Structure 1
Amino acid sequence: MKPTTAISLGLFAAWAVHDAEELVTMAPTSRRVFRQLPDFLPIPQSLRERGLSQKHVNVSLGLMAVPVALSAVAGVKTNGKSPWFRGGLLAFGVHGFTHLLSSVATRSYTTGVATAPVVVLPYWFIARRVLQQHGVEGSTRGVIATALAAIPLTAGVHVISAALLREDSLGPARELDNRFAPRRPKQC
């Protein structure tokens, strides 16, 4: 297998491993994280109070799998030269840093932070190096534009999930024991 094929397929593989963590942790952590976000952010009160449901997470991750898989296929077909693949790669790598920053900002576990430093970022660094070794240009305007398109794509995935699920998109109305709540140090 050519190195460019391996890293192209690796995008979907790394995404799948990373999103397995998100599949398990996003719903239970979302309520706490949404409550900690600044009030000026336009987040509906119901979402702040209830977070995301597991159904919403399942649908959203399923929807996002499509463009990620197609991006990986574009990379295979073009030996990593496709702006769609390279933009997806850039977006995936940068988003790994957002997971780290969100945990620092909340001073607690946030979904995706466990696999960001051990899967997302190492894969991204290796893939970039392999592309450079095979003469593939870095981040051109088209690549950056494609990566930036991941922002409205992600928002759109969540909007579609919410529209499909309606009330089932929100987490439970009652307070649940949160396995992922930050632990407070014991006072002496």
Structure 2
Amino acid sequence: MTTTSKPNPLVTYGLFLAWAVHDAEELAFGPRWLRENLPGLRERFPGVPEAVWKAAESVDEREFAVAVGVMAGIVGAAAVAGARSGGRSAFYQGAVNGFGLHGLVHLAQAAAVRGWTPGSATSPLVVVPFALWARGRLRRAGVLRPVGLGGVAAGLAIAAGATVVSHAVGRRFASYF
């Protein structure tokens, strides 16, 4: 049985907290790990288009940090929208779904390289559990929107789009920092 009630603020603002813990791991290790592992990745995955490798090669610590800052704004805005709407916001719920799915992508990346990748340590410990917990709390509050296959695809697309936008802004503005 579900009732319509307002979820605890940890459900909404917790999205930003969980994201911050996760992105601290990515920020600490991402660009360096990529530089060190790019030659092996290229050799192991020859079907990846050259444009992807070139883009990955060019990411430096400043660009990555700016991209993380941009993503902080996006995730923070989603958390605020969730808090203001009592968890009903489609933007907030989409961000929770995208965040959880993003965690699964990190786990798939780690499986593909047969080892740790930046973000793969916090994904099973923070990202996926938070998303599942938040969705459960929203369900119990009676405000969770159903998600079918289209919703899963939309969540992945939104997470990917936010990442692309964040890195585009990072690339454009990193030289100012």
TM-score of the alignment, normalized to the shorter chain, above 0.5: yes
Q: CA deviation at 1:109?
A: 1.3
- For 1:26, give the aligned amino acid: G
CA distance in 2, matches of 1:159, 1:89: 23
Give aligned pairs, total.
Answer: 165
1:132 counterpart residue number: 139
Deviations 1:163-184 (A, max 9, x none): 3346x9xxxxxxxxxxxxxxxx
**Which shifted more, 118-127 or 50-59?**
50-59
2:112 counterpart residue number: 105
Match of 1:70 among 54, 60, 77: 77
- 1:131–1:163 Cα change, 3 Å: same
- 1:101–1:143 Cα change, 3 Å: closer
CA distance in 2, matches of 1:83, 1:71: 9
2:3 counterpart residue number: none
* TM-score normalised over the length of structure 2: 0.82
Match of 2:169 among 138, 160, 168: 160
The alignment yields a C-alpha RMSD, in angstroms, of: 2.4
Q: 8 Å contact 1:21–1:112 — kept in the other structure?
A: yes
Q: Which runs of 5+ in 2 are unaligned?
A: 1-5
* TM-score normalised over the length of structure 1: 0.77
Larger Rg over CA atoms: 1
Q: Which has the higher helix share?
A: 2
Q: Which runs of 5+ in 1 are unaligned?
A: 169-188
1:178 counterpart residue number: none
Q: 8 Å contact 1:4–1:131 — kept in the other structure?
A: no
In the TM superposition, what are the counterparts of 1:132-151 in structure 2 within 5 Å? Answer: 132-140=139-147, 145=154, 148-151=157-160
1:59 counterpart residue number: 66
Match of 1:120 among 98, 116, 127: 127
Q: Determine what percentage of the aligned residue pairs are the same residue.
A: 33
In the TM superposition, what are the counterparts of 1:70-89 in structure 2 within 5 Å? Answer: 70-89=77-96
CA distance in 2, matches of 1:129, 1:143: 17
CA distance in 1, matches of 2:106, 2:147: 25
CA distance in 2, matches of 1:46, 1:148: 22
